[in-house]
Structure 1
Amino acid sequence: MAGYSEQTFPLQVVDIDHEGDEISSGLDGITSVGGRPHVVFWHGGEAQTFATVMNVAIVSSNGKPLLAGELCKNFEAPRDVDGVVRFEVLRPD
């Protein structure tokens, strides 16, 4: 993407949490699915790192992708909480 450079933070520790998506049926019989973001706790990071970040990719030590998507800044901007950075990632459908 023009104007953005990739940043890599090797050997980091993260916890990833995800609640199930919200599924509901309307009176018209149409089922709607509301995707909930993944909550990530980054140990040893700083929230200010995300000032210019739009997308996040988290990869395991063996190179396997664990999570990739848009950084959620609408409701829960990345913030420092008890020695970790808490942020949310929206996965594409």
Structure 2
Amino acid sequence: MPLNFVALLRPKPSRVQVARVEEIVHKVREDVHEKEPGVLRYQWFRAGSTEKPLSVVWETSTMDWLAETDEKENNMAVPIEVLPLEQFAGWESRS
């Protein structure tokens, strides 16, 4: 059974940092698709506001790569929050 994670990323409220985080995400998305065939879900969402930007990722792999990049570049306003999910109800698909 795959392990699901939701990660909350809060870039600094600057267009430069938000754009940089999204640039990193697009590059990593390609790497995950090519190099991690076991990843079944890898989705990014925008949330929050201009003053408090928030990116949410729902995936089944680790977030080590993003944490390592942020340690070097310091794009986040607060540390990345990773929440492991344990499903207890609902469904994934109607098909």
The TM-score normalised by the length of structure 1 is 0.29
> Which structure dedicates a bigger proportion of its chain to helix?
2
Larger RCO: 1 or 2 (CA < 8 Å, sep 6+):
2
The TM-score normalised by the length of structure 2 is 0.29
Q: Which has the larger radius of gyration?
A: 1
